[in-house]
Structure 1
Amino acid sequence: MINVLLSQIQEKVLLTDQDQEAIATFFISKKLRKRQYLLQEGDVCKHLAFVAKGLLRSYNIDEKGNEHISIFGWEGWWVSDLNSFLSGVPAVFNIDAIEDSELMMISLVDYDRLTLAVPIMDRYFRILFQNSLVTKERRLMSAISHTAEEKYLNLAESNPHVIKRIPQNLIASYLGFTPETLSRIKKNLALKR
């Protein structure tokens, strides 16, 4: 699993052999079974997790019991309740596995130690956080300016390999509408083709 992580890091920054050896010492591996929690709302998020294999979701549940998915995390993605991880406050998100998954995880103490021991990792994480911010800004703009059909098409076009792995009710939750609305959209799209 560490090789998957190192390969993903190498896509963003150049690592020496010494950097790679050092990085490996800061991470622990964890396997999750389908439907197993990595984090539950109200707990403090103790780790930043890299998805080496599998598929996870981060979500919260409102007072009416409706689930709202904020992100899906598949191979090469990082998942966490970042505010909880960085500040130690209770998490507002649940994170669980949609598929059996394998993760590489780092604690906040080790995260800080890693960025001091391997300075290029500070740049790597800055790039990740910048990309995450851009993604969230685009998702917010989509939520307020696109139709339901446009939201679905954007997701399907940007992630065709992953969308096939995600149950339709979870896709609907992520896009902010009901499974019935998603079925209607898919039916209308099929009729247009």
Structure 2
Amino acid sequence: MHEKIVTFFETEYPLNQHGIDELLSLFQLKTIKKGTAILKANHLERELRFLNCGTVRELYATADKETNINFYTKPQFISDLFSFSKDLKTNKNQEAISDLEILSIEKQQFRELLQRYECGKSFIELSFQKLLKQKELLEFNRITKTPEELYQELFIYKPNWLEKIPQYHIASYLNITPETLSRIRKRIS
């Protein structure tokens, strides 16, 4: 159950062994069905969630439109860390686009652990640095590149997205219609 999260911590955020053992003991395994909302806008992020397996889409939604902003397909943390750490309501929504296996820990339990282990604080700091870098790159790419260039980058850097995620979700992520995506795919292949 904990193999993927242990590997994640060993490669991404090395913690001392006592801290990681206690952290792992607090995680609860949850299975979530395809189509289930995991996070809803205007709510507080109440748990730290680690995607063990499955695919999640993250999106912004208005009454008129949904726009996909990210997909999670590999073992990693999927919580809105800004909402989680600052106790602010999120603007994001998350939905399972396949059946999921998630490990989760309640916010209060996690905060108590951070107080006991200094290395846990570095986890939050490093996570924020990665999120800011990712957000900066996403904004830059969306402003400076064409949908075709963005699709080509997905083809190179995130081929698992193109295999696991329905094309209409990819089109939303690229901010184009599914028909435009179809034309781009034909030109590239």
Same fold (TM over 0.5): yes
Other structure's SS at 1:114 match: helix
Distance 2:175 2:186 in 1: 18
In structure 1, what is the equivalent of residue 155 of structure 2?
A: 156
Q: TM-score, normalised by structure 1?
A: 0.89
Post-superposition offset of 1:110? 2.1
Amino acid at match of 2:177: T
Inter-CA distance 25–70: structure 2 relative to 1 (3 Å threshold): same
DSSP 3-state at the match of 1:43: coil
| Match in the other structure for 2:92 | 93
Equivalent in the alignment of 1:71: 70
Alpha-carbon RMSD across the aligned residues, in angstroms, is: 1.8
Q: Paired residue for 1:167?
A: 166
Q: Which residue of 1 aligns with 2:45?
A: 45
Which one-letter code corresponds to 1:140 in the other structure?
E
Secondary structure class of the residue paired with 1:105? strand
Per-residue deviation at 1:132? 1.4
1:75 is displaced (CA, Å) by 2.2
Structure 1 counterpart SS, 2:30: strand
User: Tell me, which stretches of 5 or more residues in structure 2 are unaligned?
Assistant: none
Question: 2: distance between equivalents of 1:150 and 1:78?
Answer: 28
Residue of structure 2 equivalent to 1:21:
21
Q: Contact (CA 8 Å) 2:8, 2:76: kept in 1 or not?
A: no
Structure 1 SS opposite 2:51? strand
1:179 maps to what in 2? 178
* Secondary structure class of the residue paired with 2:75: coil
Deviations 1:25-51 (A, max 9, x none): 332221111111112223322112111
Do the aligned residues in 1 keep the contact of 2:46 with 2:107 (CA within 8 Å)? yes
1:60 maps to what in 2? 60
1:44 aligns to what SS in structure 2? Answer: coil
Q: Shift in Å at residue 16 of structure 1?
A: 4.1
| 2:110 aligned with 1:139 | no
Give, in whole Å, the separation in 2 of the partners of 1:94 and 1:14: 29
- Give me the identity figure in percent: 28
> 1:11 corresponds to which residue?
11
Compute the TM-score of the two structures, normalised by the length of structure 2. 0.90
